[in-house]
Each structure stands twice: as C-alpha cells, then as structure tokens.
Amino acid sequence: MVIQEIDNRSLTSRAVELLRADIIGASLRPNERLRIQALSERYGVGATAIREALSRLVSDWLVVFEDQRGFCVAPMSRAELLEMNRTRIDVESLAIRYAVEEGDIQWESGLISAFHRLSRTPPPSDPTQQPIWAEAHRQFHVALIAGCGSPSLIRLCALLYDQSERYRNFANSQRESAGRHVGVEHKELLDAALARDVKLLTLLLGRHFTRTTDIIQNADFGETGASARLNATRASSQM
C-alpha cells in the first residue's frame, strides 16, 4: 500500500512537470481544452495522475477549471500581462531587499556562480537549444532572491516567473528588440546586489522586467469574450 502511494505521487509529480513545461513553453495554447484521456495518452501517464496534476496546476495559475466544462489552459491577455509585471516588480523588489539585508557570503557566492553560468550561455538562435539558456536565466533570478529568508516570497516569485516565461514563449520574443543588451542588464543587477545597493537594484530590476513586458505586448493574444470569461473564473477561484 505504501509503495503504491509513493508510485502514485511519483506519477502525479511527473505529470505536473510535463504539463507545466508544455504550458509554459506554449506547446499547449491559452484556452486550449485539456482532455484527460488525450493527455494520458500523450504523456503515458494514467488518467488519475493527470487529473491530480491538473488540479495542482490550477493553484499555480496555469490551468483553469470550469464546472461542466472541465480543465483548460489559463487564458492570456494584455491587461493581465501588465498587471502581472507590476505585481512581479513589487514582490521581487521586496524579496531582493530582504536578500540584500540578510544574505551572507553563501548568497553572494551563489549569485556570482549563477551569473557566470548565464554569461557563458549565449541565447541560442536554434530554438532546440533555448531550454539551456532559459534554465541558466531562471537560476540567475532565483539566486538574486535566494538570501531573502522567506520561503513564501520565493514561492510567489517562482509562480510569477513562470507566468512571465509563458507569455514570453507564447509571444516568441526570445530575440530581443534592437538595442537591448540583456547581458549588460544582468551584470548591472549582479553589481548592484553585491554592492548591497537596494535602491539601485530595485530600479534596475523594474526596468529589466518592464523591457521584456514591452516586447511581449506586441504579441497577438487573440483576446475574446471566452478569454474574458475564463479570466473572471480564474480570478474568482483565487479569492
């Protein structure tokens, strides 16, 4: 019985990660219906594990559940993108302030290591290599706030990061706008963090996030009445 429970949890966790990757990577599109049998066949995971995984992803804002309609990929909208960017700036600025105030030499070392890895991983022109850079980029932003001492803040930052990545991947905006130097932006963030300059660091962070958001805004999110209705359902489920 114990072994069976462990196996079930393992299968559900695998289903969560597979679904999360496909939603964030935009293989599963906004508003797309998530049919349990089809997903079970797609991932080679039982229907029970798929159903539990979808329920978990509702709390991560990646999936929406509607009575009598089932699960679907969470919708996207320009308004949500802008609101999410403001929220992310506020939340991550708080986490960074705590990290600067409380972070020790281990935090600094981890941040330097993460930046070194990112700086040695050029954004690929080949889309198949994109996950390598994306993971290095994620780890750098994780390292920035790792010293904050607040698991709840770190968790919230991770959820908002996933949302930002989903929008970025959907908009296919990995090729940055002309004149933008993302590597320089990351180096400025590193230097401000090591200098323990909270004011400069939060300013640079806000600019960094907003520049990405400005690029993503150019995407066609195909907003419809259905999207608006699903956004309302999603909002109510979080109250």
> Domain limits of the chain?
2-76+223-237, 78-216
Degrees, nearest 5: CA angle 147-149-155: 95
Cα–Cα distance between 123 and 159 in angstroms, integer?
A: 23
Q: Does domain 78-216 have CATH number 1.20.120.530?
A: yes
Contacts of 83 (CB under 8 A, 6+ apart): none
* Helix (H/G/I), strand (E/B), else coil: 33: strand
Burial of 203-213, coded b for 16+ CB within 10 Å and e otherwise, reads ebbbebbeebb
- Using the Cα atoms of residue 53, residue 58, residue 63 and residue 64 in order, give the sign of their dihedral: positive
How many other β-carbons are positioned within 10 Å of the β-carbon of residue 184?
A: 9
> Is residue 167 helix, strand or coil?
helix
Structure pTM?
A: 0.84
pLDDT one-digit tens code per residue, 191-203 = 999 999 999 999 9
Q: Could you tell me the fold of the domain covering 2-76+223-237?
A: Arc Repressor Mutant, subunit A (1.10.10)
- pLDDT tens sequence across 64-114: 998 878 999 999 999 999 999 999 999 999 999 999 999 999 999 999 999
